[in-house]
Amino acid sequence: MKNAILRLSALLCAVCLLAGIPLAQAADGFDYAYTYTYDYWGDLRQSPDAYRVKSFLTSADLGLDKQMVNPSGLFVQGDDIYVVDTGNNRIIQLHHDNGTYTVTRYIDSFTGDVEPLTFNGPQDIYVEENGTMYIADTANNRILKLDKDLNYIQSFLKPSDATFDQELSYLPTKLVADVSGRVFALAQNVNKGLIKYEADATFTGFIGASPVKYTWYELIWRLISTKEQRAQQSSFVPTEYDNIAIDEKGFFYVVTQTFDENELMGGGAEPVRRLNSLGTNILIENGNWWVVGDVQWAAGDSNLSRTGPSKFVDITVLDNDIYVALDETHNRLFGYDHQGNMLWAFGGLGNAVGYFNKPSALEHMGYDLLVLDSQAAALTIMTPTTYGQQIYEATELYDRGEYDASADTWLEVLKQNGNYDLAYIGIGRAKLQQGEYKEACDYFKMARDAKNYSEAFRYYRSELVEQNIGWIFGVVAVLLVVPMIIGRIKKIKWEVENS
């Protein structure tokens, strides 16, 4: 009877997942089993919700003059949200005020001495603090720079450099700008990394191109092929990036969906990268798993036809160096700290609140996360729960050197989720900084964190030696002196017996 009930429960759960229906709800009306992490062994562990939906905004909710069509870009500057309404060739500017989101203007044209003065298939926007805008006007083959009053400043056009294939159309899709006004862009069919423009719109090259990957068979074949045969073969090209973000320190976070699945769990795929000004990947990955999204590719998937690894379509970086990647395979969000530890994952495919149909862009406003769904033509704003806030607080306290407070906050996290390995690691790191090496070892051991355990144990061993140096020398002295005394006694006894 018990087995039959279990089978029936499992069947009902599967039906609910396929239908996008929440499995169960807490007292406050939000889902259980919505958020999860992975443990040391790669097993999925459910956890309390780290985020919950704050607002779900459709075109009707916003009172737009017409339905959004295939919105693809999103940017937040202060209390303003910019939604790139690609299908309607415009940008919608919203203002946030105490939980209310109001449309302040439709940006569909501008003034200046350039043609056309309208957009054609725009896909992205970046806005400076002073309101200056950079717009990827994709189908018009340009990046536009406008002031806050929509006056034209300049265009960033197709590079005339020999390194850029002049036979290809210039179709910029994503972009960011640094504090100096330099623009870094991605473009369709460009696979040499980030396109770099100086502030005066001069093209100065590419940065961050991925190394060319090939098999030994391909290499040998190219070596023995004729010139004509090589011309007919597909070129070995670096990986294209799919989106880009820039953090407060000026480092670029990029995501790519072009990788070999066999390399993914070995750390060679690098679907998320943090690039410095030289284009070198400096992303730290000290967690149990690489930054790849789902470890179990189809585990818990509400659409069993969508199997395979996570493929990130966008990424955003919070002010505390925690970054969040948006997975368009399983429609989920994955949060990581600056050490590469997964903080949480949630989301899924469906029409229920907190689920998505085709997520296309991700941004943050403080700790809130904003997800743009191109198919649903809607914007979802999610805010941290108490549990999520505690994770952020514990991380930030540690970074500020407040180790006691950080450990106390991680203990509060453990009260809600005893399976959260990162909390044990967080307490262990705080204990390590406080000089409590034995306690640090205990917490690292519980999290199976071999690297940090080795470091803590090294300090603990040194501490034991320092605390017991007197006993150690005493024991060593005894071990050296006693044999000498015994030997002397035996010699005297022999001399007496043979005298």
Q: What is the pLDDT along the chain (499 residues), one digit of tens a residue?
A: 333 333 333 333 333 433 444 444 444 444 455 899 998 888 888 899 999 999 999 999 999 999 999 999 999 999 999 999 999 999 999 999 998 999 999 999 999 999 999 999 999 999 999 999 999 999 999 999 999 999 999 999 999 888 788 888 899 999 999 999 999 999 988 888 999 999 999 999 999 886 655 555 555 655 666 666 555 554 445 558 999 999 999 999 999 998 877 788 777 889 999 999 889 999 999 877 899 999 887 544 444 445 789 999 999 999 999 999 999 999 999 999 999 999 999 999 988 889 999 999 999 999 999 999 999 999 999 999 999 999 999 999 998 999 999 999 999 999 999 888 888 888 888 888 888 888 888 887 887 877 877 877 676 677 665 666 656 556 666 677 777 777 677 767 766 666 6
Name the residue among 379, 397, 385, 311 with its Cα closest to residue 344: 385
Name the percent of the chain in helix, strand, coil, to the closest 5.
30, 30, 40
Structural domain includes residue 327: yes
Rounded Cα–Cα distance for residues 218 and 230 (Å)? 11
End-of-domain residue from the set 351, 385, 419:
385
Check whether residue 376 and residue 435 sit in a common domain: no
Check whether residue 241 and residue 309 sit in a common domain: yes
CATH number of domain containing 380: 2.120.10.30
C-alpha dist (Å) from residue 226 to 232, 240, 365: 10, 28, 56
The 10s digit of each residue's pLDDT in 234-286 is 444 555 899 999 999 999 999 999 887 778 877 788 999 999 988 999 999 98
Check whether residue 205 and residue 309 sit in a common domain: yes
Rounded Cα–Cα distance for residues 77 and 97 (Å)? 13
Furthest C-alpha separation in the chain: 122
Check whether residue 363 and residue 454 sit in a common domain: no
Structural domain includes residue 476: no
Check whether residue 381 and residue 288 sit in a common domain: yes
Number of domains present in the structure of the chain: 2
HEC-encoded secondary structure of 154-208? EEECCCCCCCCCCCCCCCEEEEEECCCCCEEEEECCCCCCEEEECCCCCEEEEEC
Q: What is the layout of strands, in order, in the sheet containing 272-275?
A: 243-246, 252-255, 272-275
Check whether residue 227 and residue 284 sit in a common domain: yes
Rounded Cα–Cα distance for residues 4 and 385 (Å)? 36
The sign one gets for the Cα dihedral 116, 117, 118, 121 is positive
Judging by DSSP bridges, how do beta strands 368-373 and 323-327 pair with one another?
unpaired
Structural domain includes residue 58: yes
Check whether residue 120 and residue 75 sit in a common domain: yes
Containing structural domain, residue 308: 38-385
The 10s digit of each residue's pLDDT in 39-95 is 888 888 889 999 999 999 999 999 999 999 999 999 999 999 999 999 999 999 999
Check whether residue 44 and residue 191 sit in a common domain: yes
Structural domain includes residue 324: yes
Check whether residue 356 and residue 437 sit in a common domain: no
Structural domain includes residue 496: no
Structural domain includes residue 497: no
For the chain, the straight-line distance linking the first and the last C-alpha, in angstroms and rounded, comes to 95
> CA angle, corner 427, sides to 319 and 403, nearest 5?
60
Any idea how long the chain is?
Answer: 499
Check whether residue 379 and residue 435 sit in a common domain: no
Structural domain includes residue 495: no
Structural domain includes residue 3: no
Check whether residue 377 and residue 422 sit in a common domain: no
Check whether residue 223 and residue 290 sit in a common domain: yes
